[in-house]
Amino acid sequence: MKYCSHCGSSVSLQIPPGDNLPRRVCEDCGTVHYQNPNVVVGCVPQWQDQILLCKRAIEPRSGFWTVPAGFLENRETLQEAAIRETAEEALANVDLGSLLAIVNVPHASQIHMMFRARLLEPDFGPGDETLESALYTEDQVPWSLIAFPSVRFTLERFFADRASGGEELHITTVGPIKY
């Protein structure tokens, strides 16, 4: 950010009075433009013994597989976002279940929140940000082509819980992808 979204004047990095981190502060109207982490919301849609994955059509990690997920919008609940992202990316309708995973992604200033879900019917397809969507059994999952560490963590915990009959909430922190 170079210019104030309130008045259009230049902004500069300053530590506001009473604060302890540098913020972008308008040199004219004094507005402090805080920037905080973004929330990414997704789900693991299940159909019988299969789960629905999406092959990404956009960077980062185009061509790699993920669960339907995306940024929480303003004035939206987590559950609404998970259902909306699944409709947008996989053209699929889900009933959400319990919260499966919270993944801190501090290097990207993001929090990823993943739910369990059930496909309402075996209808799906590629949305605008997806090359292909497909159902996979656990032993068919393309583990070497999973897009992000948070998705890998989510899927591993999903299958482990399904095998044990549990529904735990799993919390972890991941670092950057090592290529």
CB of 38 to Zn ion, least distance (A): 23
Residue closer to Zn ion (CB basis): 28 or 95: 28
Residue number, 7 or 171, with CB nearest to Zn ion:
7
Query: For Zn ion, which is the closer residue by CB, 16 or 37?
Result: 16
DSSP 44-66: EEEETTEEEEEEE-SSSSTTSEE
Least CB distance from residue 75 to Zn ion, whole Å? Answer: 24
What does DSSP say about strands 50-56 and 130-136: parallel, antiparallel, or unpaired? Answer: antiparallel
For Zn ion, give the closer residue by CB, 33 or 162.
33
Least Cβ distance, residue 12 to Zn ion (angstroms):
11
Shortest Cβ distance from residue 25 to Zn ion (Å)? 9
Closest distance to Zn ion from the beta carbon of 17 (Å): 17
Q: How far is the CB of 22 from Zn ion (least distance, A)?
A: 17
Name the site residues for Zn ion (rule: CB under 5 A). Answer: 4, 6-7, 9, 26, 28-29, 31
Secondary-structure percent of the chain, ordered helix, strand, coil, rounded to 5: 20, 40, 40
Sign of the C-alpha dihedral computed for residues 132, 61, 58 and 155 taken in this order: positive
**Cβ nearer to Zn ion, comparing 19 with 28:** 28
Spacing of C-alpha 52 from chain mean position:
15
Dist. CA 88–CA 66, nearest whole Å:
14
Closest CA to 46 of 132, 121, 99: 121
DSSP type of residue 153: H
Output phi, psi for 105, to 5 deg: -125, 70
Rank residues 2 and 178 by Cβ distance to Zn ion and give the closer one: 2
